Structure 1
């Protein structure tokens, strides 16, 4: 073979190899979902979730994330192995931990997001730690146990640029969007008063702490369960449900249902931070002649009134009434005698200058009053609905987390959930203030927090006219369990 022929062949071979390499490289950088065809999700298109608190509500939360089709449950953590057993069985590939701190230390590089479904008193410390690792977070309601914590998490979400969502799934229902459209169309005029009520608590409240000590269940790590709370000996029936009625751990009926029932007033009226609050509470009879007040326990019922300053959606202040323990507001005169108020046990009522509207739990089933109006009123749809409503609350967060901070909207980010939670916890300040004791000049025990209105300095996060309740704005954490430690 002559030299020219040899050079030509070599040149052709080099050109072939070069073009093949380019083609191979191009093939390799094609997104895997293109190669896999319809329904294939590349690893970058899936959210790896570590879940803290995986029994009870945590179990259903995890199932809902998995149902989105875009999340993998990578790690499970619970202080109660018995409660966690069913979830562990359903997600056998997920590694299990008892201590969330150990899970974070060892596995932080192996997950993208954290779900928190633990008792209220541990929400903030777990959530802040996750955000400090740059993880997206989904946190059950209420967002936090204390006002200080809510403010801290709201700021942290912005600082660490993570996707956040509180578990008040009614925020993704059509109801709040429908009511915003009605309100913006002027159908009920300017809202000045809102009522929200619940038949909860459905756990014991207004009772003394049990004197009957019990053995800690074998599968429960009691010290880890206590977390931030003061150390106490284990008592029967506190775990897994009745902790809600004790201030060390829960936030009462307000914390349990308030985020569901007051979300709509916040989103419809753009409410933020209250300026004042007052409360009255029910009590129980210790014996035939004496009423009991037990400051460690939430009361059996309460009526709290919060005032919110004028917003861009109102012409003046808005007064919000909260009622629990079965207390309900007077039925609207537009509601006929046998028509259901709210959903019976729970509801929210908006009172405007031209009319009224109400909804059920989770802001579901919004109705104008009188109910006969609803057949004829048609208002254009202006706010995009969330696919699957309340059930889509989970998938919404999963997809937004995959997209990244600021790329997709979620219904209850901390910038909204934080102020909402603060309002509920400010109401609890007034409730707790009722039981604050002092002694008068004659040495007699008095209750100076009763029958007064508490004035709130929002910038400094403190009540200005009754300092004794400010201890509850930010509690003292158990040593070693401080927020942000």
Structure 2
């Protein structure tokens, strides 16, 4: 049985839980004020964000915006008093001064462009993950949020769950000793399949090149606004499905953008990770337009405070950690494994376990020290009203998103990179610049 010093556990967890929440400015004059909120993107995840935040009873849905007319009209049925917009730039022009907060649930490549105007106006922002399309945009949004002093939250909903809180407490308590490596794997694969499935080119996940045909744009869609700052290309439904866009480099960053935001969140939180020093990635040869389904990345983090160096290993698609392949840990489809000097912790979204099981058979976890969340959306609304703080403010979510993007940067340049976080560049690797930032299409700017 591993002995745990309860008093040390409580002291450590309490201090670190407090440090995880940064003070945020509130704008509302009184907690009794109702927030006037604009919702940009109201289909799919945006619809769920709209209904969950509206259900708090503390907000007025002042405006709704979507490039898909059927999503917009669907939201208008539930919220008939909201002003309707197709172009979020017109929303800001018309109602920017009247809003207290904005919720951004667009596709990844327009996150920064829909978020930045709100920050410049001093409005609170909830933005879906990933925070922005590339590292340059992430850094600019993060710095703008700090300057604005408003309440922010990135949409990593699982961050509010109790399971992650219990794992953070255990890792920081020292119950498995000093953690030197982490393995994170996910079985979902938004990207180019690694095997030859040319016979299935009718299925979006097997398409291997940009479609050549020019199809009519559906009447319900404003294709030019959907493209936003991305390079011009003819409309094709292969881009606009609910998750199809994740696969295309011009619009998203594959599996890492989607699930890296959620699964890497736990080690980032538990180990107080920041900017990695080096990143190396492995997988099939990079495709010029489509993200990989299967890929592995290795991050090296330098020692920080009382934590030693950490190696974080990311696996997506068909690859798994050696311990998983050897049957030395349970075959969970997706998981986060913390490897410490005296044991291991295996977790996913909803459960966790200490390993080896026989060595922790008599272990009894102490009382929780990180308080339960009132809900990921609910804590953002409450913080905007001056009640508490958010768990995933941009000051935290920004560095997490940058680190995730760096895995793809290393993969696309095809070599190990050394990251200069202060200057936002890869050392002696100018070819990485094209993946760190890009010029937006004419008519779009931050």
Classify the TM-score, shorter chain.
Answer: 0.7 to 0.9
Deviation at 1:453, TM superposition (A): 1.2
1:466 correspondence with 2:429:
yes
What TM-score results when the alignment is normalised by the length of structure 2?
0.86
1:422 correspondence with 2:395:
no
**Kindly tell me: are residues 335 and 371 of structure 1, through their superposed partners in 2, closer, same or farther at Cα, counting changes over 3 Å?**
farther
1:302 matched to which residue of 2?
Answer: 295
Deviation at 1:296, TM superposition (A): 1.2
1:91 correspondence with 2:79:
yes
Consecutive unaligned residues of structure 1, counting only runs of 5 or more, are: 1-41, 284-292, 434-448
Q: How does 1:157-176 map to 2 (within 5 A)?
A: 157-176=145-164
**Kindly tell me: are residues 323 and 143 of structure 1, through their superposed partners in 2, closer, same or farther at Cα, counting changes over 3 Å?**
same
**CA contact 2:72–2:84 (8 Å) conserved in 1:** no
1:271 correspondence with 2:273:
yes
Q: Deviations over 1:195-245 (max 9, x none)?
A: 111122256277211112211110100111111101111113211331110
Q: Deviations over 1:88-141 (max 9, x none)?
A: 222222121111111111112332100000111110111111111111000000
Q: How does 1:122-141 map to 2 (within 5 A)?
A: 122-141=110-129
Q: Distance in 1 between matches of 2:206 and 2:313?
A: 21
SS at structure 1 position matched to 2:385: helix
**CA contact 2:190–2:247 (8 Å) conserved in 1:** no
1:453 matched to which residue of 2?
Answer: 416
SS at structure 2 position matched to 1:351: strand
Query: More deviation in 161-170 or 296-305?
Result: 296-305
Q: Distance in 2 between matches of 1:322 and 1:43?
A: 42
Q: Distance in 1 between matches of 2:381 and 2:264?
A: 24
**Number of equivalenced pairs:** 402
Deviation at 1:309, TM superposition (A): 1.3
1:445 matched to which residue of 2?
Answer: none
SS at structure 2 position matched to 1:137: strand
SS at structure 2 position matched to 1:148: helix
1:217 matched to which residue of 2?
Answer: 218
**CA contact 1:335–1:370 (8 Å) conserved in 2:** no
SS at structure 2 position matched to 1:83: helix
Query: More deviation in 58-67 or 458-467?
Result: 458-467
Q: Distance in 1 between matches of 2:207 and 2:425?
A: 26
Q: Distance in 1 between matches of 2:306 and 2:55?
A: 37
Q: Distance in 2 between matches of 1:246 and 1:380?
A: 45
RMSD: 2.0
Deviation at 1:170, TM superposition (A): 1.3
Q: Distance in 1 between matches of 2:384 and 2:356?
A: 42
Q: Distance in 1 between matches of 2:437 and 2:361?
A: 45
SS at structure 1 position matched to 2:180: strand
Q: Which one scores higher on RCO, CA 8 angstroms, separation ≥ 6?
A: 2
**Kindly tell me: are residues 374 and 249 of structure 1, through their superposed partners in 2, closer, same or farther at Cα, counting changes over 3 Å?**
farther
Deviation at 1:48, TM superposition (A): 1.6
Deviation at 1:261, TM superposition (A): 0.1
2:376 matched to which residue of 1?
Answer: 393
Aligned with residue 246 of structure 2, among 244, 247, 255: 244
SS at structure 2 position matched to 1:74: strand
**Kindly tell me: are residues 45 and 235 of structure 1, through their superposed partners in 2, closer, same or farther at Cα, counting changes over 3 Å?**
same
Return the index of the structure with the highest Cα Rg. 1
Q: Distance in 2 between matches of 1:374 and 1:52?
A: 49
Q: Distance in 2 between matches of 1:89 and 1:371?
A: 53
Q: Distance in 1 between matches of 2:34 and 2:326?
A: 50
Aligned with residue 186 of structure 1, among 174, 178, 182: 174
Q: How does 1:253-402 map to 2 (within 5 A)?
A: 253-282=255-284, 294-315=287-308, 317-331=309-323, 339-341=330-332, 344=333, 346-361=334-349, 364-371=350-357, 373=360, 376-387=363-374, 392-402=375-385
Deviation at 1:379, TM superposition (A): 2.1
Deviation at 1:476, TM superposition (A): 1.1
2:88 matched to which residue of 1?
Answer: 100
Deviation at 1:466, TM superposition (A): 2.1
Consecutive unaligned residues of structure 2, counting only runs of 5 or more, are: 1-29, 192-204
2:3 matched to which residue of 1?
Answer: none
